[in-house]
Amino acid sequence: MNKELIMALDALEKENGIDKEIMFAAIEKSLMDEYKAEFDKADNGRVELDRRTGDFHIYSDRTVVEEVIVPENRENKKEKYVSGTDIALEDARKIKPDCQLGDVITVEVKSEEFSRKAAKNAKNTIVQTIREQEKNALYNEYHSKEKELITGIVQRVADNGDLTIDLGRLQTVLKADDKFKDKKFV
């Protein structure tokens, strides 16, 4: 993630009224969910997303053990396995030379350790959150105008008399039964 992300979030906030903090929270939650999925539901991670640059870092608190035990369901990926909760003493000493067995050290999880699937799922979650926020913003904008007269431009008149109306940021359908009977739209 980078400055383009920040620019996109700024544009969403300006154009659609979506609070940037809500989007940052959704991105952080999405990355954390993917961390948990990637590292066997480990609950020892945290995500830090820089609100200025768009860069993110994922940190994991791992217990120093003699040797990391690879679960049976990961045996075929043993050479690529990275535990979400443990770190081998040899690897831990590269980070903190004076650590001992049983110590808990904080390790930065490199984004390369995330799978392509995890990145795709994170992206889908972000897109879904954007859609939900856009929908909520439109609902809030027009819900406050309930029982008010608003103007729009008729885009299309259907054969059954229904009208498609452009209200600016939204298109809607006015059913034939809901319009004034003495008004004609051609």
Question: Are 8 and 56 in the same domain?
Answer: yes
Secondary structure class of 77 (helix, strand, coil):
helix
Question: Are 9 and 42 in the same domain?
Answer: yes
List CB contacts of 96: < 8 A, sequence separation 6 or more: 103, 105
- Please identify which residue in the block is written with the tokens 């640059």: 53
Question: Are 123 and 186 in the same domain?
Answer: no
Give the tens place of pLDDT for each residue, 41-100.
678 888 888 888 888 888 889 889 998 887 766 655 544 456 678 888 898 999 999 999
pLDDT value, residue 101: 93
Give the tens place of pLDDT for each residue, 88-146.
889 899 999 999 999 999 988 876 666 677 667 777 877 888 888 888 888 888 888 88
DSSP-derived pairing of the beta strands 56-65 and 45-49: antiparallel
Question: Are 153 and 137 in the same domain?
Answer: no
Find the angle CA(173)-CA(178)-CA(183) to the nearest 5 degrees.
Answer: 95
Range of the structural domain that residue 34 is part of:
3-60+105-143
Residue 72 inside a domain? The answer is no
The helix (H) or strand (E) run that includes residue 105 is: strand 104-109
Question: Are 117 and 53 in the same domain?
Answer: yes
| Total domains present in the chain | 2
Query: Is residue 129 within 8 Å of residue 23, measured between CB atoms?
Result: yes
Q: List the beta bridge partners of residue 141.
A: none
Question: Are 42 and 19 in the same domain?
Answer: yes
pLDDT value, residue 105: 92
pTM over 0.75: no
DSSP-derived pairing of the beta strands 171-174 and 163-166: antiparallel
pLDDT value, residue 78: 45
pLDDT value, residue 87: 87
Residue 123 inside a domain? The answer is yes
Residue 119 inside a domain? The answer is yes
Question: Are 122 and 186 in the same domain?
Answer: no
Per-residue pLDDT band at 24 (split at 50, 70, 90): confident
Residue 13 inside a domain? The answer is yes
Percent with pLDDT over 90 in the chain: 12
Closest Cα to residue 167, out of 184, 155, 183, 180? 155
Residue 81 inside a domain? The answer is no
Give the tens place of pLDDT for each residue, 83-104.
678 888 898 999 999 999 999 9
The burial of 39, by beta-carbon neighbours within 10 Å (0-12 exposed, 13-18 middle, 19 or more buried), is given as buried
Question: Are 153 and 175 in the same domain?
Answer: yes
Question: Are 46 and 20 in the same domain?
Answer: yes
DSSP state of 53: T
Residue 12 inside a domain? The answer is yes
> What is the CATH number for 30?
3.30.1480.10
